[in-house]
Amino acid sequence: MNDEKEVLDRGPFFHGTKAQLKIGDLLEPKNPSNYQEQKLSHIYFTATLEAAKWGAELAASNAKERIYIVEPLGDFENDPNLTDKRFPGNPTRSYRSKSPLKIIAELGVWERHSDEEIDHMLASLKTLREQGKAIILD
């Protein structure tokens, strides 16, 4: 059994996306990112609804936005793309794993960010891409 100090976060954990999945499905690494055409060696998730909402809203697709409650099936670590690089510590409680995440439920109702907030974030991400700064440390 893990020592209490080794547990990064007890969850619950969320994954925001536009992919349509079923309870019991596995989200696995080695799939294209929600944001770029890059295949990633990690699967990313969060313990905050706020970060999961952004994941769903910013995913590159015209499909329905979805937030899944997930269970990590292996070890995970702080997401270095957000931890300390952009936010000291890990206030977004964002993580990544090389092991799959199991879909245990879909969050049926949640409040989206405003269209203005989403448009602003998309414009910011576009600017980062144009500047060559939209890099995912994977």
DSSP string, the chain: ---GGG------EEEEES----TT-EE-SSSB-SSSS-B-SSEEEES-HHHHHHHHHHSSSSSPPEEEEEEE-S--EE-TTTBTTTBSS-TT-EEEESS-EEEEEE----PPPPHHHHHHHHHHHHHHHHTT------
Q: How confident is the model at residue 1 (pLDDT cuts 50, 70, 90)?
A: very low
pTM for the full model? 0.82
What is the CATH number that goes with domain 8-130? 3.20.170.40
User: pLDDT for 70-105, tens place per residue?
Assistant: 999 999 998 887 666 565 677 789 899 999 999 999
pLDDT at 38 over 70: no
Q: What average pLDDT is seen over the chain? A: 84
Rg (CA), the chain: 15
Hey, where are the domains in the chain? 8-130
**Side chain identity at residue 47, one-letter code:** A
Contact 17, 33 (CB under 8 A): no
Report the distance separating Cα 107 and Cα 66, nearest Å.
7
CB 42 within 8 A of CB 32: no
